[in-house]
């Protein structure tokens, strides 16, 4: 928590403080110009106290700041909401998964500052923070034009997110119009190609959830 880093010359990455609220909200309005208020629900969180294991408990909110104190970019991430809406994930399991699966909700860089590596550095920094906090999987919804960008940052791009939650018991999450980018963060977690399924399955995210070797899908269920 409270990490401050300088990897790009003259630019510091640090955790959000309440004083950043205006600049962060203006940046988030760039993410979806058709719906500039799409991230309005983030606003109250920006005033929360900083506490571990991420920057603000189970949320990670970081900014890239210039030497002059101008906020150039922001990354917001944390618990994937689908964990608590999915019919296949009961509440206790959802809470366990919320400590192992994270999502990046938004990355935005000031238009005139793009192409300098600020976005990539924010994503790399988030990978380190989520890994250090004990997460096994990082995901994000990926616009088609950014698929190669996220591949370059170590993510796999897939149509659906399949997660094994016990031997031969996967749950699947789909997003309407975008694909999902996913990256395993620790040695327990892997993305396994399963014959018969078009997207890989996340294996090992919790104890006893590793897919048996040779697992395949016959059109109805998984078999060992
Ligand atoms: C996506 C975004 C965060 C990238 O930030 P950035 O600081 O410019 O990214 P970097 O400098 O690390 O990387 C730039 C690379 O991303 C590519 N890129 C960025 N936005 C792109 C877009 N909309 N379409 C295609 N490529 C894009 C650039 O072509 C460049 O590629 P290169 O490294 O091969 O030259 C920034 O463009 C942005 O704020 N976009 C608006 C908000 C948004 O769409 N966010 C993503 C969804 S949450």
The residue whose CB lies within 8 Å of the most ligand 1 atoms, and thus the one to mutate among 32, 146, 181, is 146
Looking at ligand 1, which atom is closest to the CA of residue 105?
48
- Work out how many domains the chain is built from and give that number: 1
| 171-206 pLDDT tens trace | 888 777 789 999 999 999 999 999 999 999 999 999
- Which amino acid residue places its CA nearest to atom 9 of ligand 1? 119
- 111 Cα: distance to centroid of ligand 1 (angstroms): 10
Answer whether residue 140 is part of any domain: no
Pocket of ligand 1 (CB under 6 A): 30-31, 106-109, 114-120, 143, 145-146, 149
Q: Which residue has the tokens 């906090």?
A: 133
- 105 Cα: distance to centroid of ligand 1 (angstroms): 15
| 47-91 pLDDT tens trace | 999 999 999 999 999 999 999 999 999 999 999 999 999 888 999
Query: Which one, of 164, 192, 198, 202, lies nearest residue 88 by Cα?
Result: 164
Q: Count of alpha carbons within 13 Å of 156, Cβ hemisphere only?
A: 19
pTM for the model stands at 0.93
pLDDT for position 220 = 82
For the domain that residue 131 is a member of, what is the CATH number?
A: 3.40.630.30
Answer whether residue 62 is part of any domain: yes
- 173 Cα: distance to centroid of ligand 1 (angstroms): 25
Overall size of the chain counted in residues: 224
- 108 Cα: distance to centroid of ligand 1 (angstroms): 8
Answer whether residue 1 is part of any domain: no
Query: Which one, of 37, 115, 33, 39, lies nearest residue 73 by Cα?
Result: 115
Answer whether residue 177 is part of any domain: no
Q: Which domain holds residue 83?
A: 11-135
Answer whether residue 183 is part of any domain: no
Looking at ligand 1, which atom is closest to the CA of residue 27?
39
Q: Where are the alpha helices (DSSP H) in the chain?
A: 21-28, 91-97, 118-132, 147-152
- Which amino acid residue places its CA nearest to atom 15 of ligand 1? 115
- 23 Cα: distance to centroid of ligand 1 (angstroms): 19
- Which amino acid residue places its CA nearest to atom 10 of ligand 1? 117
Widest CA span of the chain, in angstroms? 59
Q: Count of alpha carbons within 13 Å of 191, Cβ hemisphere only?
A: 21
- Which amino acid residue places its CA nearest to atom 3 of ligand 1? 108
Q: Which residue has the tokens 């294991």?
A: 53
Query: Which one, of 21, 18, 162, 148, lies nearest residue 82 by Cα?
Result: 162
Mean pLDDT of the chain: 93
At 145, the pLDDT band (50, 70, 90 cuts) reads: very high
Answer whether residue 204 is part of any domain: no
Answer whether residue 216 is part of any domain: no
Distances (CA, A) of 35 to 9, 40, 78, 146, 211: 33, 10, 21, 19, 40
């Amino acid at each position: 928590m409270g990490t401050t880093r300088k990897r790009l010359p003259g630019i510091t990455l640090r955790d959000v403080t309440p004083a950043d609220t205006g600049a962060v909200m203006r940046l988030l309005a760039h993410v979806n110009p058709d719906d500039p208020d799409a991230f309005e629900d983030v606003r109250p969180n920006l005033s929360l106290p900083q506490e571990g294991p991420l920057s603000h408990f189970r949320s990670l909110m970081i900014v890239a700041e210039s030497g002059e104190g101008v906020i150039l970019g922001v990354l917001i991430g944390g618990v994937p909401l689908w964990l608590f809406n999915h019919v296949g994930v009961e509440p206790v399991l959802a809470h366990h998964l919320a400590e192992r699966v994270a999502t990046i909700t938004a990355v935005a860089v000031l238009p005139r500052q793009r192409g300098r590596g600020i976005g990539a550095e924010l994503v790399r920094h988030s990978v380190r923070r989520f890994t250090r906090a004990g997460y096994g999987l990082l995901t994000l919804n990926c616009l088609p034009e950014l698929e190669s960008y996220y591949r370059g940052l170590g993510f796999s791009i897939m149509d659906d997110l399949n997660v094994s939650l016990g031997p031969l018991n996967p749950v699947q999450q789909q997003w309407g119009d975008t694909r999902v980018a996913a990256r395993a963060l620790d040695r327990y977690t892997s993305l396994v190609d399963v014959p018969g399924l078009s997207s890989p399955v996340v294996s090992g995210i919790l104890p006893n959830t590793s897919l048996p070797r040779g697992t395949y899908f016959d059109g109805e269920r998984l078999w060992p």
